């Protein structure tokens, strides 16, 4: 069953890639750099043939834009070749008006008049009922991911695929670059008993995949009933590319993901959400600034002594305007990546946790052990508490990571 399903997925992907011609030199499909074209650019350049005769609904947010910074919903709504009838908004909302843990609710979009349905925290039959109520027959997904298992948009993708299968809808994924590159999967793999909205299925902490590749993996490995899936892959993207190679504008996928540099460190430093330290929310450098009251330069000194590849740590002081330590001046570190090719964000996050705990007596895990949800098991927390060093903690997940890398390999679309 697995083999035949994978063969079907490979055939479908190849057919869609062959039918999507490179984007033209003008309009929403105009490319740059080495000629990178997003999934949407290729879909538009092909005259939206994949959507011909379909009632279309789009799952997207502010990142679903063209190279000239127009939103794809606005572009498709104005094009008679697309019967766009609904929009589905994830966490933070379709237009991005909500903070973390919020959404925009059901409303009509003022710009287009289209009905916008809220998908946040909906899954299974409840989300399938939303798709049914919308009247669409094809659900299109176009959201910029950042490459970390606990970034919730990939689980919005999973939930929407599952719901589309339940509702009998066709599903199309428009691909975009992984800003942290697609070079390697890194970090611990989620244990199924720790599944939450920050990790539905057993993938690694930094997955090194694009959303189209993840969709193929979800369909081939994790969905009970596969959805009729088609992907429109990019052209001109290489697995070693960082986001700036794309020459695409960066739109923060969420309020605390302001730059591609944030995305580069996020899969490691987001682990500080599971501690009593600030992860930099409420500053201009979230996930690059980390700290708490009472921390001084000894933490930066200890972190630098680890000799972690590609990164240095500066003693830093900051006052978050919201979230942890709001309005208080705290001490800590700023993460400075000086060699992004060599940088390992997950190893760096582990090293920072260990040195924070050893250099500051006030260190504590969140009482709800959120760190276990972020890392995917109790292992990281218990090993650090037992005094393990960075190499020992990283060694603890290598076997399961090797298994995920083998699984991941057959779903990769790019070199």
Note the pLDDT tens digit of each residue in 186-217.
Answer: 999 999 999 999 999 999 999 999 999 999 99
Angle at which helices 345-359 and 298-305 pack, to 10 degrees? 130
CA dist 387 to 358, 370, 391, Å? 9, 20, 12
Question: Above 70 in pLDDT, residue 21?
Answer: no
Question: Above 90 in pLDDT, residue 227?
Answer: yes
pLDDT of 113-162, one tens digit each?
999 999 998 999 999 999 999 999 999 999 999 999 999 999 999 999 99
User: For residue 34, what pLDDT is reported?
Assistant: 56
Give the domains, in start order, of the chain with CATH numbers. 2-251+404-409 (3.40.50.12170), 260-377 (3.90.1150.140)
How many alpha carbons lie under 13 Å from residue 228 in its C-beta half-sphere? 8
Question: How buried is residue 25: exposed, middle or buried, by Cβ count under 10 Å (0-12/13-18/19+)?
Answer: exposed
3-state class (DSSP) for residue 288: coil
User: For residue 97, what pLDDT is reported?
Assistant: 77
Contact 250, 96 (CB under 8 A): no
pTM of the model: 0.92
Question: Above 60 in pLDDT, residue 14?
Answer: no
Write out the H or E segment, with its range, that includes residue 345. Answer: helix 345-359
Question: Above 80 in pLDDT, residue 76?
Answer: yes
Phi, psi torsion values for 62, nearest 5 degrees: -60, -15
Contact 388, 380 (CB under 8 A): no
Write out the H or E segment, with its range, that includes residue 358. Answer: helix 345-359
Contact 128, 194 (CB under 8 A): no
User: For residue 96, what pLDDT is reported?
Assistant: 81
Q: What region does 260 belong to: left with phi over 0, alpha with psi -120 to 50, or beta?
A: alpha
């Amino acid at each position: 069953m697995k083999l035949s399903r994978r063969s079907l997925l490979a055939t479908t992907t190849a057919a869609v890639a062959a039918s999507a011609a490179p984007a033209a030199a003008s309009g929403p499909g105009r490319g740059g750099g080495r000629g990178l074209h997003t999934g949407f650019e290729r879909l538009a350049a092909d005259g939206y043939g994949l959507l011909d005769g379909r009632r279309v609904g789009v799952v997207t947010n502010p990142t679903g834009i063209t190279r000239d910074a127009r939103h794809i919903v606005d572009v498709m709504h104005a094009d008679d070749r697309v019967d766009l009838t609904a929009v589905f908004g994830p966490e933070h909302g379709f237009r991005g008006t909500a903070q973390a843990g919020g959404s925009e609710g059901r409303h009509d979009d003022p710009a287009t008049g289209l009905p916008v349905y809220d998908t946040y925290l909906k899954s299974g039959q409840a989300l399938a009922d939303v798709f049914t109520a919308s009247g669409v027959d094809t659900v299109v997904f176009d959201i910029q991911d950042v490459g970390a298992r606990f970034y919730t948009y990939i689980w919005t993708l999973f939930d929407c695929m599952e719901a589309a299968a339940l509702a009998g809808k066709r599903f199309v994924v428009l691909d975009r670059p992984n800003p942290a590159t697609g070079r390697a999967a890194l970090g611990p793999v989620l244990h199924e008993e720790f599944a939450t909205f920050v990790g539905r299925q057993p993938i690694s902490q930094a997955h090194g995949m694009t959303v189209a590749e993840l969709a193929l993996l979800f369909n081939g490995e994790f969905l009970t009933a596969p959805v009729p899936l088609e992907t429109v892959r990019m052209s001109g993207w290489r697995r070693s590319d960082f986001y700036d190679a794309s020459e695409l504008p960066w739109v923060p996928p969420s309020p605390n993901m302001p730059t591609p540099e944030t995305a580069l460190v996020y899969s490691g430093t987001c682990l500080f959400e599971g501690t009593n330290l600030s992860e930099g929310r409420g500053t201009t450098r979230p996930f690059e600034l980390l700290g708490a009251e009472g921390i001084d330069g000894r933490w930066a000194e200890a972190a630098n002594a680890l000799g972690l590849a590609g990164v240095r740590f500066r003693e830093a002081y900051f006052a978050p305007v919201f979230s942890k330590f709001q309005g208080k001046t705290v001490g800590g570190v700023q993460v400075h990546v000086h060699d992004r090719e060599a940088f390992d964000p997950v190893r760096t996050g582990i090293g920072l946790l260990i040195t924070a705990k050893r250099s500051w007596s006030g260190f504590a895990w969140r009482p709800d052990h959120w760190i276990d949800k972020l890392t995917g098991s109790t292992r990281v927390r218990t090993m650090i508490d037992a005094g393990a060093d960075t190499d020992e903690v990283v060694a603890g997940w290598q076997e399961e990571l090797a298994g995920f890398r083998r699984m991941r390999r057959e779903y990769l679309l790019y070199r």
